Structure 1
Amino acid sequence: MTTQRKVYQDILQKIKAIIYNDGLQTGDKLPSERELSERLNAGRSSVREALRSMEMLGLIETRRGEGTFIANAKDHRLVEVIASFILKDTKSREDLLETRKLIEKDILRVACERISDEYLLRLRTMMEHKDNSSEGEIFSTEFDTAFFRIIVSSTGNYLLMRLWSELADYHQTIWHHLTFRPSIYYKQLIEALSIKDQEKAIRLLDKYEMKRTDE
């Protein structure tokens, strides 16, 4: 790895850390290029290159005369158009579900290696709130998506996050009825992640596979 490449990657990581530490959310404005350069003690050209790559991934967006903002990826998606024209036939839909599952298996492998105590706490807290809610054992697709989104985030791989988010959004657009996973699935998955057991995590994904109920 060249020194220039390493510096570029370090800057990307530091910008992501600033976004996290500053608590920036979708729609919030990033510090200016000059301010980032000062905070990171890096050249403005290197900061500019890092910002451009983040913009290509759809993580940020530049508004002329206003600055750079955390992007809402949904604003750039054509989910409904794709669902209407590309995913009409059953085979394409089945392929989409299979692709999502394959990606989720890889996500679990990476998450088992990288997940921190902070993300495990977020997962456990989510389950505690669910257990204490009036809904009880009713787990919606929205809950499942939110739960797995935390796992994807724990990998620290933003491109992987975008790919998975696209697939998850497609499913909610074209299939509104999927089988619900039981409480034990989520609790055992947290346990598998906490002990970094990749095989157990993937077995759980296979055992409690999401299937259509609207056929």
Structure 2
Amino acid sequence: MKSKSQNSKVYIEIVKQLREMIAADGLKTGDKIPSERELSERLIVGRSSVREALRALELLGLIETRRGEGTFIRDFQGNQLVQLLSTFILQDEKARRDVKETKYCIEMDCLRLILQKDPRFKLEEIYKLAKEAEMNDDEFFHHLIQLADNHLILRIWAILKDYYHSQDFEKEIARPEEYRALLDALVAGNEELAIEKYKELRKMSKS
């Protein structure tokens, strides 16, 4: 059985192959791409791996799936993010650590954006999540990042989150009161306290 690290390398390679295939076939914005089954046969990889790669491209806004119609190219030529991710991230141990650091930086920047946009009236739903005995960290931060109202940041965070989970980092779980403390700081409009509570939640050093 392949390790998660091996699977992640296969996943990145598929994204690269998809990019090359789209360029070689001369596909452009609005064109339909082959089905999962066809891509699996053409690239000689499992359908589950193809599905993951397509999901990454969709999160980046490069393709879109229309129910009953198929999957279509969006702005592929104008977006270099997939190339950046597929040729840089996870190529060495430092890059692997950079995934974690970048994910955390994005989350902290989103806290600052939230405070700039002052969506305190929308935090009630997230408070309900914070009452759970075991908080789903991904769900919690997905809701928070949505409040930052920046779709590109949300897409980048989602991709980094998937890479993060593929690399056997320790599962991120904080106590419900730690999540609530972060929310309290946001409601209070206190950026310094919000960042402090975030670092405590992530068990980051205060230096």
Deviation, structure 1 residue 89: 3.2
- Structure-2 separation of matches of 1:86 and 1:113: 31
The answer on whether the counterparts of 1:119 and 1:150 sit within 8 Å (CA) in structure 2 is no
- Structure-1 separation of matches of 2:64 and 2:92: 34
- Structure-2 separation of matches of 1:120 and 1:56: 24
Deviations 1:32-51 (A, max 9, x none): xxxxxxxxxxxxxxxxxxxx
- Structure-2 separation of matches of 1:153 and 1:113: 14
Listed as ranges, the matches of 1:174-213 within 5 Å are 174-209=167-202
The answer on whether the counterparts of 1:105 and 1:205 sit within 8 Å (CA) in structure 2 is yes
Deviation, structure 1 residue 97: 0.9
Distance verdict in 2 for CA 1:193–1:208, change over 3 Å: same
Aligned residue among 122, 125, 128 for 2:125? 122
- The one-letter code matched in structure 2 to 1:110 is L
Q: Once the two structures are aligned, what percentage of the paired residues are identical?
A: 33
Deviation, structure 1 residue 159: 0.6
Paired residue for 1:97?
100
- The one-letter code matched in structure 1 to 2:109 is D
The answer on whether the counterparts of 2:111 and 2:195 sit within 8 Å (CA) in structure 1 is yes
- The one-letter code matched in structure 2 to 1:106 is D
- The one-letter code matched in structure 2 to 1:120 is L
Paired residue for 2:40?
none
- The one-letter code matched in structure 2 to 1:123 is I
Deviation, structure 1 residue 178: 3.0
Task: Provide the TM-score with structure 2 as the length reference.
Answer: 0.54
- Structure-2 separation of matches of 1:147 and 1:179: 11
Aligned residue among 141, 145, 149 for 1:148? 141
Say whether 1:164 aligns with 2:167: no
For the aligned residues, what is the CA RMSD? 3.7
Deviation, structure 1 residue 207: 2.0
Deviation, structure 1 residue 172: 1.2
Distance verdict in 2 for CA 1:59–1:201, change over 3 Å: farther
Q: Which runs of 4+ in 1 moved over 4 A?
A: 65-69
- The one-letter code matched in structure 2 to 1:183 is P
Structure 1: stretches of 5+ with no match in the other structure: 1-54, 72-76, 131-135
Distance verdict in 2 for CA 1:67–1:109, change over 3 Å: same
Matched residue of 1:148: which SS? helix
Deviations 1:124-158 (A, max 9, x none): 12123x1xxxxx3x44xxx1110011010011111
Paired residue for 2:112?
109
The answer on whether the counterparts of 1:115 and 1:155 sit within 8 Å (CA) in structure 2 is no
Matched residue of 1:61: which SS? strand
Count of equivalent residues: 138
- Structure-1 separation of matches of 2:71 and 2:93: 41
